Structure 1
Amino acid sequence: MAGKQNLNVGTLPVLTWRNLLLGVLASMIVFSSLVHMSAMLVPGVLEENGMSVLESQLHPEAFVGATAEKGGRSNVNLRSRRQPSVEGKSASTSSFENFDTVENVQAQTDFQKIYSLDKLRDAGYANALIKSDELEPEGKQILQDCPDVSRHVVYWQNLPKDKVWESPYKNLGPKNKYLLFEPDEGGWNNLRLGFEANLALAFATGRTFVLPPRDRVYLLKKSSQQQKEKLNKLFKSDTNLISARSPVYGFEDIFAMEPLRERMRVITMEEFIREVINDPSNNELPRPQEELIKLVQENKFLSWKNSLLRSWIQRISVQPKWNPSKVFVAFPQRDRLHKEGIEKFTDNQLNVGMRPWKKRRREPVFYDEELWNSKVLLFSQCRGAPCRMLVQFYSLLYFADEKDDKMLKRFIRDHLHYSSDILCTGARIIDMILNDANSIKNDNDNEISPMKLYSSGHVRRNDFQYKEARHAPLQDILDVMWRHTKVHNEVLYLSTDETDKDVLAPLSAHYQVKLLGDYADKVGLHEIDPNFVGMIEQVVASKARIFIGTWWSTFTAYIMRMRGYRGLNHQSFYYPKPFEKEMQRFQHPEGLGWWREWDPAWYQLDE
């Protein structure tokens, strides 16, 4: 019929499929919008290129950089990081395993309890000004040497529930059991890592911890009349080891020993030798050589390099040759530990619980009957063998019992900290910086915050072995700092080994730059051992509202740890830029993990 369109029945399916496809596409668009809206309400649920939706809104410039791949691949892949090996060379990895999504979401939620979501959205969480004391623990302690300013530096607690904890291995094997170790030969913060690892192992196994003798420390070589006078009061010596020009140090000179001794037995090497000589329960051990006994009895200075001491210790000890880059020490549930031995771990404990520890092909070793029956354990540097204890203690030790795991981490947090001299000096400098910050007009003068704070940075330049950080242009460092501080004329406390002030001049265009020297006379720094300056600067940097540190630096890492204890880990960033936001999401340690700090060191320790 004219004027009528003849419909071909065969065309109906085609039209139906087209409509169907359009309907599916529309549904996908609506669903995608709903997911994005829900992610805005529940931060951390949806991630794009390694960044949550909430993070992308708070840091749009970083999100653009992470996703701008038109015309080619992005120069920065936030899911891959170059990580150094123990030897200092870089090893490439593209494996970013984000374990425990629930923990990640919970960490974000905990963070928002401290900083309200409205404030985060308004200012960007990196710029949220807060009362610094809001982050102090309820059970915080007071330093008796500086009670008026100790609030600035105290992050540890005194928890009654921890005082009753006891290692299940304490009553297994000999009554008197000792752990000795040989210190690392690197700088102070490398020594600190080895100290923490061995201390944690001694505490976990119920052993007496024997401090190594004092020795020279790499880079702690400034002339120190203070240390010379201290050691001359302790020892009688006619050697040149005790001198102002070439000082020697022990861990007891830098860390406070009293808090440690509240929870475990800690003795010096000299005390250990006297115990072996005089305690009948130690008769099974070979006696030291008479010359070595004479040194101790006459209270002469004893060096770790003393060949008599080293040979004797090697004769009396069992020496596990553990390579922390390939193994970690696994402890089973308490109900699987018996005097007749350790029962096998369950498949769940091996394949799930140990999963983060087994990254980078590490395998478990066990503190078994042979070890707990050994009277003396020695962990040496294993010259010629790769068993250097350059490892995070919480990456070295795995506990199937979560309560024991958190107990050990609280022990390190609450009982291992710098000496009162170091902490109090840092606290007084912080107080002076805060006074300066509140006398300077800056962009936050209209903020409701009751006080203005300060930011801090660690810029490693001169002898650093990682060229990407050492040669990073200052403008790149400044860009990272400004992205997260964004307060013009704010006080920026800078810890750096850069000696050319002209290099640092661009920072002064944005900040009131303060160095340690600006407070040296006011705080009486000339009365403090000059080799403690680095530790003091770590303390000062740890309290800043925002901190920018150097990736790969163990100096920066300890600042990050103290900030993590305070709840300021999400207010902490790195340069170079590819590592800028490493502290912004929950991550387990990867392998040794020594080049940075990781969330499990502080996350939910008190729960």
Structure 2
Amino acid sequence: MRRTIPTRRTATRGSLPSPNTQVVQLLVTASVCLIVMSFLPMIVLEVSEVNHEVSALLTHMTGANNHEEHHAPVITSAGGNSNSQKGSKSRTLPKQPQSSVPPPPPMKTTKDGRHIFDLTLDDLIPDPPQWDQKPVARGVAGRPLSQTPHVATARRAHLDCGDLAMDSLAYWNVGGEILQSPFATTQPHQQYVTFSPDRGGWNNVRMSLEIIFVIAAATGRTLVLPPKEPLYLMHHDKTNRYRGFGDFFPLEQLHPIVPVLSFQEFFTNNPHRPSVPSQMDEAAIHKAADHCDKRDASENACRHVFEYLEATGVHQNISAVHTCLIFDEMAYVTGKPPTNATILEHVQQVCGPTRDHVYFTQEMNDPDILFFAAGNKTFRLLTHFYGMIHFTNPVFDNYFRRFVRDYLHYHEAIYCAAGKIVKAIQKEAALLNANITDPKYAVSAEDGSGGYSALHVRRGDLQYKKVKIPAQEWYDNTKDVWYPKELLYIATDERDKSFFDDIRKHHELRFLDDYWELADLSSLDPNYMGMIDTIVASRGRAYAGTWFSTFSGYINRLRGYHGLSMQDSWYGFLPKKEAVHEWKLVNEFAYAYEWPDGWIGIDADVWPDRDKF
């Protein structure tokens, strides 16, 4: 039998190498390991330095604001320094430094596809301690204490917002001197101011209310608030359509200057109130006393209340369009215009030639009830209180402007929610621009504003179509206002965020609902949202609003109360872009914007110069 001798084959890919080949491979591998080991300390040192660079960047991004020096860790060998001693046969790998800097917050995606930081309240930076101990003079609006004797006892307001200090949002003072008005009634019994509210949007209602409050304060009367009712465009609470002014303002703080009653208190618990005229339905008035409906056919129609108030009060035939209401001490007593040439010249300057100059007199103040039909189109009070009401003595002119600033501010809950959003936007801006060291991007240490800028873009029911411009036009008209890469907050009634894509190409954008969970907005009255938007927009470094919008105008006034310059306020409508960059004398009916007469120098006893605003 023939034996077959197998043929020897060469190794192919995938087959086992021969023993000789294995030996060679082992020798090569060992050599490479020795080479790598000799360079390992140098590699670790380089990686450690990179880690330190990243740690330093995160420290800046997360807003670390302490003043400690941070030194780069020194990576050493077993010999105690970074250069190993010659002849050393072994090395100890260095221990990696543990960074104390927290990582940046995680990101989340909004419904419209934007990526924003998912912040918590612990991420936010509170105001420095004792912010409310700062001087009450604020920015360009303030005056030295030597010029403001009536605010010598005043201090900045404090906001009780839990663990997050945000007193920088409070523009008003507390504890200032209360002056005795020379126009206050001297009757031994209580006298009243009653009114019907404006029928426009909230800011129109607020403007009218400020005028009525000033008149009540100046005349020393009790103010009777109308019943709660559905307010125009404030129908976001489906469980309760009725709102009164006490839902928005802390009216209990007003009592030292203006006692306030609800209509129900005035009508049901007041034995001295006027009788119901025989032609009126007293039961219907009772039904509408607490809250009422605007529909005349409703069983609790508001008309029953306002017809009663008009019938029992003395109607004041004044309106924002036609009236300049003047309080002069001599005219109040004599019933005649003053003869002092300086006063007459001042009145002509502030009231102008197009409105009636109406001097408030003792005779006008005699009736027990003064009624203002602000809900009637003919007698609307749609203007700013400081443009319609003038006191010829600057001591009282400024006093009543302080009264509006210090007492007619929104509830603390509104400011606390807005403050969380302001702090969050400032934090996000710092994270996004962590590599920018220019201090102009930072939050102001003086007033707590800035770190971002803001716009108010009105898109809804505004009847002035020419100012409702596309987003690209908004950007083209205002792009020189914003810093490169500056975060922009947009207060708006536009629900479709894609409308703003032409601005988003150039800037990170933020909106109110981006902070819904952080600020716990669902726990608040849904009608607060516009007020919160107003406050957040007012804290921007620069601001651009919608011309003709009283919402935009009020944002400028809030900025003015904080002492911010009007040189940093603009309008998106190009013909009016710089409308507030000049302090013009406004002596006619005006409501489309606000001007510095309302806030500059109002702590002093003299009218301010118009050189700094």
Normalized against structure 1, the TM-score is what?
Answer: 0.68
Distance 1:357 1:515, change over 3 A: same
Distance 1:193 1:537, change over 3 A: same
Could you tell me which residue of structure 1 aligns to residue 567 of structure 2?
570
Judge conservation of contact 1:557–1:595 (CA < 8 Å) in 2.
yes
Q: Deviations over 1:37-85 (max 9, x none)?
A: xxxxxxxxxxxxxxxxxxxxxxxxxxxxxxxxxxxxxxxxxxxxxxxxx
SS at 2:518's partner residue?
A: helix
Distance 1:349 1:272, change over 3 A: farther
SS at 2:455's partner residue?
A: strand
Judge conservation of contact 1:492–1:514 (CA < 8 Å) in 2.
yes
CA distance in 2, matches of 1:480, 1:159: 43
CA positional deviation for 1:481: 2.8
SS at 2:461's partner residue?
A: coil
Q: Deviations over 1:374-427 (max 9, x none)?
A: 0001111474x6221111111111111111100000000011101122111101
Equivalent position amino acid for 2:243 in 1: Y
CA distance in 2, matches of 1:598, 1:191: 19
Could you tell me which residue of structure 2 aligns to residue 37 of structure 1?
none
Could you tell me which residue of structure 2 aligns to residue 56 of structure 1?
none
CA positional deviation for 1:556: 0.4
List aligned pairs for 1:137-536, cutoff 5 A.
139-146=155-162, 148-161=164-177, 163=178, 165-173=179-187, 175-225=189-239, 228=240, 247-276=241-270, 278-279=271-272, 290-291=282-283, 295=287, 301-302=291-292, 305-332=301-328, 334=329, 337-338=332-333, 341-349=334-342, 351-359=344-352, 361-381=354-374, 383=376, 386-441=378-433, 444-447=436-439, 451=443, 453-470=451-468, 472-485=469-482, 487-536=483-532
Distance 1:147 1:362, change over 3 A: farther
CA distance in 2, matches of 1:450, 1:548: 19
CA distance in 1, matches of 2:457, 2:370: 39
Q: Which has the larger radius of gyration?
A: 2
Distance 1:152 1:211, change over 3 A: same
SS at 2:508's partner residue?
A: strand
Distance 1:495 1:355, change over 3 A: same
Q: Which has the higher helix share?
A: 1
SS at 1:374's partner residue?
A: coil
Could you tell me which residue of structure 2 aligns to residue 585 of structure 1?
582
Equivalent position amino acid for 2:491 in 1: S
Overall identity of the aligned pairs, in %: 28
CA distance in 1, matches of 2:233, 2:208: 17
CA positional deviation for 1:258: 2.6
CA distance in 2, matches of 1:166, 1:351: 24
Distance 1:498 1:143, change over 3 A: same
SS at 1:169's partner residue?
A: coil
CA distance in 2, matches of 1:343, 1:159: 36
Could you tell me which residue of structure 2 aligns to residue 233 of structure 1?
none
CA positional deviation for 1:369: 3.2
SS at 1:412's partner residue?
A: helix
- Structure 2: state its 5+ residue gaps: 1-138, 144-152, 295-300, 444-449, 605-613
Equivalent position amino acid for 1:250 in 2: G
Equivalent position amino acid for 2:233 in 1: L
Normalized against structure 2, the TM-score is what?
Answer: 0.67
SS at 2:456's partner residue?
A: strand
Residue of structure 1 aligned with 2:534, choices 532, 535, 538 = 538
Distance 1:418 1:501, change over 3 A: same
Q: How many residues align?
A: 443
CA positional deviation for 1:347: 4.9
SS at 1:201's partner residue?
A: helix
CA positional deviation for 1:370: 3.0
Q: Deviations over 1:308-339 (max 9, x none)?
A: 4233222211001113212211111x35543x
CA distance in 2, matches of 1:497, 1:253: 22
Could you tell me which residue of structure 2 aligns to residue 97 of structure 1?
none
CA positional deviation for 1:140: 1.4
SS at 2:395's partner residue?
A: helix
Q: Deviations over 1:210-253 (max 9, x none)?
A: 1111111111112344xx3xxxxxxxxxxxxxxxxxx1211111
SS at 2:558's partner residue?
A: helix
SS at 1:558's partner residue?
A: helix
CA distance in 1, matches of 2:351, 2:154: 36
Equivalent position amino acid for 2:588 in 1: G
CA distance in 2, matches of 1:349, 1:177: 33
Judge conservation of contact 1:152–1:543 (CA < 8 Å) in 2.
no
CA distance in 2, matches of 1:160, 1:206: 18
Equivalent position amino acid for 1:221 in 2: H
Q: Deviations over 1:446-487 (max 9, x none)?
A: 3377647110101112322111211x23233113332122x2
Distance 1:349 1:392, change over 3 A: farther
Distance 1:283 1:540, change over 3 A: closer
Could you tell me which residue of structure 2 aligns to residue 120 of structure 1?
none
Distance 1:188 1:336, change over 3 A: closer
- Structure 1: state its 5+ residue gaps: 1-109, 115-136, 229-246
Judge conservation of contact 1:349–1:400 (CA < 8 Å) in 2.
no
Equivalent position amino acid for 1:219 in 2: L
